[in-house]
Every structure is written in C-alpha cells, then in structure tokens.
C-alpha cells in the first residue's frame, strides 16, 4: 500500500513540474472536491509532448524551416569560412620564414578574423533557435485549449506528460487525439530569425 502511495505521489509531483516548465499549467484542471465521506477518484490522462512536436504537421513544418534556415546560413557564410581556411594554411606554411614581429602581427590579425567569423556563426545559430522558441510558444498557446477540452470530454482530473510518468497502469494516452486536433487548429507556423530571450539559448562550444 505504501509503495502505491509513493508512486502516485511521484506521478502527481512530476506532472506539476513538467507543465509548470512548458507553460501549460492552465491546461491541468484541479480535481473537483470529493464527496464527503468518499475517497477522491483520479482519472489520469497521458500525452507524449515530444511525439506531439515530432509527429504533428506544425512540428514537422518547423523542422523543415529550420533545415532551410541552416542551409541558407551555410551558403552565406561558407565563402568566408573557406577564405579563412586558406589564410590559415598560408600562414602555417610561411611561419618559418617570417620575421618574429611580422609573424606575431599576422597571427593576431588572423585570430581576430577567426573570432569575428565564429561570432557570426553563433549569432546566426542563436537567431534560428530564437525563432524556434517563439514558434514553440505559439504551439503551446494552441495546445492549452486542446488539452483542456480533452480533459473535460474524458472527465479527467489529471493530465501528465508521458516522459514524467514512472508508472500509471490505469492512465489513458490521448497523444493521437492531441496530434489530430493540433493538426486541424495549427498546421503551420512561421519560423523567423528572432533574438532569443537572455539566457534562453545555450552557446555551442567553439570549434577548434
């Protein structure tokens, strides 16, 4: 009995943390007060939010746009990157015959160019990720009413992300229904280059 209570408590706490993180807390309805003298009954629904983003039309549309933005960035910056590589090769070949002061100056100049190029790469990557974050926020806003509606239809008291659930044998998975309704409500969303909120995007490690 204690084991079942611990599992149930873990599921409830994990669900609260997940929905608080993704901003869909409004989609989780508080259970109705139990009838006096009766034990409360929980009807649990599960949704795989990762699969919703991967299998829905809007999620796939975001992925296509991201790939196109990356390809465009590569095309724009590829020439500059190749020139830097040529300059690096020439500098390495001439290093042995250059005067120390000339060598030091050229290395300093090259390092400055390489650093500026690296910053361009990071800035473009941040803008793409910022666009994805903005698009995902729009999806979350669309998901809220969808999830709330499914809960009301099923008479559910709790809705959890499947990734947060360790064990819930009596829960009902509504992921397919969520995907179908999201496809109807929002089949596409525009991913635009957008500066992300401070601290929202982790910088990729610098290339050697």
**pLDDT single digits (tens) 154-191:** 999 999 999 998 888 889 999 999 999 999 999 999 99
CA pair distance 34, 157, nearest whole angstrom: 12
Distances (CA, A) of 134 to 19, 108, 197: 18, 39, 10
**Residue 200: what pLDDT?**
72
**Residue 85: what pLDDT?**
93
Cross-strand bridge partners of residue 47: 161
Cross-strand bridge partners of residue 166: none
**Residue 47: what pLDDT?**
96
**Residue 35: what pLDDT?**
55
**Residue 199: what pLDDT?**
73
Residues with pLDDT less than 70, the chain: 1-40, 201-208
CA pair distance 153, 132, nearest whole angstrom: 31
pTM exceeds 0.75, yes or no: no
CA pair distance 15, 44, nearest whole angstrom: 11
Residue 7: which residues within 8 A CB-CB, separation 6 or more? 166, 167
DSSP state of 32: P
**Residue 122: what pLDDT?**
93
Nearest to 58 by CA among 180, 178, 174, 189: 189
DSSP state of 198: T
**Residue 202: what pLDDT?**
55
**Residue 57: what pLDDT?**
97
**Tokens at residue 77, please?**
């910056």
Cross-strand bridge partners of residue 160: 46
**Residue 23: what pLDDT?**
41
CA pair distance 124, 134, nearest whole angstrom: 15
**Residue 6: what pLDDT?**
32
Count of Cβ atoms closer than 10 Å to residue 31 Cβ: 13
Count of Cβ atoms closer than 10 Å to residue 11 Cβ: 21
Determine the straight-line distance between the first and last CA of the chain, rounded to whole angstroms: 56
E-strand spans in 59-184?
158-161, 172-173
Helix 100-154 / helix 57-94 crossing angle, nearest 10 deg: 170
């Amino acid at each position: 009995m204690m084991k079942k209570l611990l599992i149930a408590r873990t599921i409830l706490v994990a669900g609260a943390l997940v929905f608080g993180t993704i901003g869909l807390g409004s989609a989780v309805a508080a259970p109705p007060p139990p009838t006096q003298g009766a034990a409360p009954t929980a009807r649990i629904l599960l949704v795989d939010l990762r699969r919703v983003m991967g299998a829905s039309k809007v999620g796939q549309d975001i992925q296509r746009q991201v790939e196109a933005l990356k390809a465009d960035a590569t095309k724009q910056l590829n020439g500059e990157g190749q020139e830097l590589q040529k300059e690096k090769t020439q500098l390495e070949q001439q290093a042995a015959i250059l005067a120390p002061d000339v060598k030091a100056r050229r290395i300093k100049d090259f390092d400055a160019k390489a650093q500026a190029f690296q910053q361009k790469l990071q800035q473009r990557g941040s803008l793409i990720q910022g666009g994805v974050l903005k698009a995902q926020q729009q999806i979350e806003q669309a998901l809220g009413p969808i999830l709330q509606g499914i809960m009301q239809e099923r008479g559910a008291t709790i809705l959890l992300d499947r990734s947060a659930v360790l064990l819930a044998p009596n829960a009902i998975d509504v992921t397919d229904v969520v995907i179908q309704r999201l496809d109807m409500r929002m089949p596409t969303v525009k991913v635009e280059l957008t500066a992300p909120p401070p601290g929202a995007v982790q910088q990729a490690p610098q290339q050697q």
